[in-house]
Amino acid sequence: MAESAFGFLLRSLREQRGLSLRELAQLAEVDHAYIYRLETGTKESPSEDVLSKLIRALKPGKREADMLRWLASHSGTDPGVAEYALKDESINLELFTAVASTAFRGNARPDYAKRFDQIRRILSEDEDDG
């Protein structure tokens, strides 16, 4: 199974903290093999209890924690969307979920910057109309 967006973000947050799988497992009181399966995408959608333990141990910012929570219940999300959003701190949860909820069609590599810009424009137009 291919890497999931949740798994990508989980691994990235763990690596940002400089933790090994075993160290995160000890801090979160979650089996390291289960964390590995979450990161690789062989397991998806952890329970709220496990998710809370992982977030508490990783100590991510609110934006990243919210993204992780959202991805835990949206397993079909393109990992590239999570990767792009993690690098661009101007992307808030509303913009992230709007882009992550769209489907990328065709064989061409998705242009995440273009998609985020398109959705950003749509959201700003909605605010202007509201």
Give me the CATH number covering residue 109. 1.10.260.40
Query: Phi and psi of 104, rounded to 5°?
Result: -95, 120
pTM summary value: 0.90
Cα separation of 52 and 58, whole Å?
10
Give residue 55's domain range.
Answer: 5-129
The count of domains in the chain is 1
Quick one: pLDDT at residue 106? Answer: 67
Q: pLDDT tens, 81-121?
A: 999 999 999 999 999 999 998 876 667 778 899 999 999 99
CA dist., res. 82 & res. 103, Å (int)? 14
Distances from the Cα of 106 to the Cα of 89, 109, 110, angstroms: 28, 8, 9
